[in-house]
Amino acid sequence: MFIHRHLGPFLFFVYFVLWLSDLRESGYTGGWKNSVSIIQSDMRSLTLFLESKEIENPDIIISELLGSFGDNELCPECLDGVNNILKENTICIPSSYRNFLTPIQSLRLYQNIRDLKNNNNCNRVHEMQLGFILIDPVASQSKLADTSIDSNPFPLLMGFAAHFEVVLYKNIILSTHPERHTENLFSWFPGLFPLRKLFYCPNECNIVFNIKRKFDKEKVWYEWFIEYEENGELIKSELQNENGESQSMNLS
């Protein structure tokens, strides 16, 4: 949605990634009167409004497309659609976010994975590891990250919990990282990247978690697997969520 606002002698052009069509259709104005215009559009189509002079290049872009792993509703892909309408000094909120992963074990959660509603009943068996950093707007490309984790002292692995930290503007930060969780922040629960099979690693070994963000013309999805070496043999899990078979996000 595109909104512009007159404040005294200044005219600010701001893009809100919010669903405001109900307000528009109901004719709601609140205290905005004639100072705010709502234009219903996919943000990836805003170039057309710019070319027709219906809007101008934005001063600020505000997005609420954040999820448990720092991404929700195709945040990078959607915000990539406004790259060509930015000014040199356009402010983007949030400005960046980074993802964190930690291995977890929970037999109960593993047994009930198909009916999973939360992953509170699990034990973190290692400190958080940085997954990757995304800076918005960012190009829609496959992104590959791998996180190396020492398995000692946990022998059993059923998946990985996901968290994020986001820089909204300058030093204003929101975090779901368990060790520095923002106070009274309850909007996001941890994400989960489960493994189809429990992996048993009785001896100390180095586990590598590989995750890739993939896309085609219709959808975006994550694929992941783990690998580690035991007694000179490379052990590798099967590829999880191949071609988005279990979970994906539609581009339409």
Cis peptide before 155 (omega within 30 of 0): no
Read off the pLDDT of each residue in 109-131 and give the average, rounded to a whole number. Answer: 52
Asked if 64 is an active-site residue, the reply is: yes
Q: Is the pLDDT of residue 124 over 70?
A: no
Q: Is the pLDDT of residue 1 over 90?
A: no
| pLDDT given for residue 167 in this prediction | 93
Read off the pLDDT of each residue in 62-80 and give the average, rounded to a whole number. Answer: 79
State the pLDDT confidence band at 169, using cuts at 50, 70 and 90.
Answer: very high
Q: Give the tokens for residue 113.
A: 């994975």
The model's pLDDT over 6-25, given as tens digits with 9 standing for 90+, comes to 444 445 555 554 546 556 66
Which residue among 25, 51, 64, 245 is the active-site one?
64
Q: Is the pLDDT of residue 233 over 80?
A: yes
pTM: 0.72
Asked if 51 is an active-site residue, the reply is: no
The model's pLDDT over 184-222, given as tens digits with 9 standing for 90+, comes to 888 888 888 999 888 887 667 778 888 888 888 899 888
